[in-house]
A and B are shown apart, each in its own frame.
Chain A
Amino acid sequence: MENIALAEPGAHLSIWALFIQASWVVKLVMIGLLCASIWTWAIIVDKLVAYARMRLALNRFEQVFWSGQSLEELYRTLADRKTTGMGAIFVAAMREWKKSFEKGAKSPLGLQTRIDKAMDLALTREMERLEGRLGFLATTGSAAPFIGLFGTVIGIMTSFQAIAASKNTSLSVVAPGIAEALLATAIGLLAAIPAVIAYNKLSSDANKIGVRMEGFADEFSAILSRQIDEKVAQKA
């Protein structure tokens, strides 16, 4: 019985010890999963902050936009600034408007389509920026458990091989290897769960923001269209 004696189980079963004991494949998997988790959380934090800012910016812009201030003035204040969200859409539309009227546009119909195109482009660019790294969250959420499982399977395989070589089936010999292998799955789940939750929340948030911006773009398009019609009527 002496050779099976369990020497301080605690010392061998701490998480750090488990990590150190693992084979290099499992270590690689664990490190990769850890990095993925760090990146996931970085994205989550970043997006949360970005969306909060975006919402704030949208609110402020809408407030300013509907305050009755003249569009020319607003454009002048915003043109030389770096704008995001609705501001960017507004600036893009106004720029197209200005260009057409300063050179004396012939067809008001063509102007309308050009403005719509410019606003669509700006909206798409904004949405792209908003949803930029959510794809990584989705990937992590779906793939991390599998990667962790892979690490576990490899770990259990190697530990069983070691057990077979040691010709001892005592539980205290079998357990550490399995615990160590399961650590990989644990890390995988640790990375995947927040990623999935965050992805769902952030993508719905981005959707809401996108809908809001689209609504603004439509409204602004309508306003500009009315303006074009008025200008055409004045000329005629």
Chain B
Amino acid sequence: MRTGLTTSVILHAAVISFGLFTLSSPAALPASDVEALPIAIVPMEAMTQIQQGDKKAVLHEKPAPVPTQRPDIVPDAQKIGENSVDTDKPVTPEAKPKPVDLAAAPPPAPTPIEKPKTEDVPKPKEEPKPIPATEVAPTPQPKEEVKPEPVKQANPKPTPAKEPTPAPPQDKTAAIQPQPEIKPDAVAEAIEKEQPTDAAQLPDSAPTPEARPKPQPAQAESAKAPERKDADKPVKEASSRPKSEDKQFNADEISALLDKQKPSGGGAKRSTQQASLGGDKTTGSKLSQSETDSLRGQVQRCWNIPAGAADAGNLKVSVKFKLDQSGALVGPVDIISGGGSDGVQRAAAESARRAVARCSPYTLPADKYDAWADVIVNFDPSEMF
């Protein structure tokens, strides 16, 4: 046995040592030197759901404010900002000739300020005053006279207190006797009362008259309308006669009514917020659950379930229709499924079709129009009970 063991050990030692030397380092497989490809894993949503925004902007937490589109051309817009209504035109210094238009302009000007005070003073002062203002301009036949006078008035601007007085005399010259008589007095009284207060302010600043006249054209134009609404009683008495005179065409009147302010450039509705990263338009957005429910509710409201449909079991109807941007139905309402030849089924299908048509302008989020441009609604009578 010893010989066998020794030979075996020797044999193994030989084999192992041989193996260690020959099998020690297998040659590395030839691997071609390929440059690694960088691979970015992009979620599908990045392709299918793009938020509207600016392509070059940084991604913000907050979704994009509505990015600037071509601004709507708002005729009289002057202000820049997000307001939907823009008011208060800034002062345009070229409006100097305006005082000329309105001989009786100053009296109306004080009136708004007076309003609290005029309550103290006898009743109908506010209304009469506008009337002369509008009607005075038309009445004087010698138009040239009217103009020169304002010029004179324009010169004595610092003391507008005196202006009202020249104006009433013109009224007197005009055909209307009784009213003007009342007016001048009332006006004079009112103005005299006011002037202590106004006079202190007015003389100080020469341009103030310019500032005031502006509201005047507005008032002057609107005067007739508001007057009749506000106080019909005195106006009816006073204006019944002048109206006949109104009908006479007067170029001056038109020119007086024209707004001579230069329109300022449009520019409403530009967002001041920074746009977020996004595409040209929003795609792939889905309606949220509440929005879907809202649409369902709107459709259901108009749906009269046909009689007998409730217990008819499976009367599901799927209709497909298109909506335009405003939410109104466009084109026909297609019945996709349901609505067989059976009478009850046809009735159910028709009721669904009618419901969609009847509720037509749907209110849905406008920014997700892509999601609801094509709508499929399932009507299931069994869920209604």
Contacts and interface: CB of A to CB of B under 8 A. Distances in A.
A16 B3 contact: no
Given A34-B12, A39-B8, A42-B7, A14 B23 contact: yes
Query: For the side of the interface on A, what is the size category?
Result: 20 to 34
A41 interface: yes
Given A38-B12, A41-B11, A10 B5 contact: no
B24 to A, nearest CB: 4
A1 B36 CA distance: 10
Query: For the side of the interface on B, what is the size category?
Result: 10 to 19
Interface in A1-50: 1, 9-11, 13-16, 34, 37-47, 49
Contacts of B42: none
B27 to A, nearest CB: 8
Given A15-B19, A37-B12, A38-B9, A10 B25 contact: yes
B142 interface: no
B30 interface: no
B26 A38 contact: no
B20 A16 contact: yes
B25 A14 contact: yes
Contacts of B11: 41
A9 B28 contact: yes
Contact of B7 (A16, A34, A45, A47): A45
B8 A15 contact: no
Nearest to A35: B12
A9 to B, nearest CB: 5
B91 interface: no
Nearest to A48: B4
Contacts of A44: 4, 8
Contacts of A37: 12
B1 interface: yes
A11 B11 CA distance: 26
B4 A46 contact: yes
Contacts of A38: 5, 8-9, 12
Contacts of A1: 36
A45 B19 contact: no
Contact of B26 (A10, A16, A40, A43): A10
B8 A45 contact: yes
A45 B11 CA distance: 11
B24 A14 contact: yes
Contacts of B23: 14-15
A18 to B, nearest CB: 10
B350 to A, nearest CB: 62
B55 to A, nearest CB: 33
A43 B8 CA distance: 8
Interface string B11-37: 110000001100111111000000010
B3 to A, nearest CB: 7
A46 B8 CA distance: 9
Contacts of A42: 1, 4-9
Contacts of A45: 3-4, 7-8
B25 to A, nearest CB: 3
Contacts of B25: 9-11, 13-14
Nearest to A16: B20
Contacts of B9: 38, 42
Nearest to A37: B12
A46 B19 contact: no
Given A41-B8, A42-B7, 14 more contacts: A9-B28, A10-B28, A13-B25, A13-B26, A14-B23, A15-B19, A15-B20, A15-B23, A34-B12, A39-B8, A40-B8, A41-B11, A41-B12, A45-B7
26 contacts: A9-B28, A10-B25, A14-B23, A15-B19, A15-B24, A37-B12, A38-B5, A38-B8, A38-B12, A39-B5, A40-B8, A41-B4, A41-B8, A42-B1, A42-B4, A42-B5, A42-B6, A42-B8, A43-B4, A44-B4, A45-B4, A46-B3, A46-B4, A47-B4, A49-B3, A49-B4
Interface of A: 1, 9-11, 13-16, 34, 37-47, 49
Q: Which 5 A/B pairs are nearest by Cβ-Cβ distance?
A: A46-B4, A10-B25, A41-B8, A14-B24, A42-B8
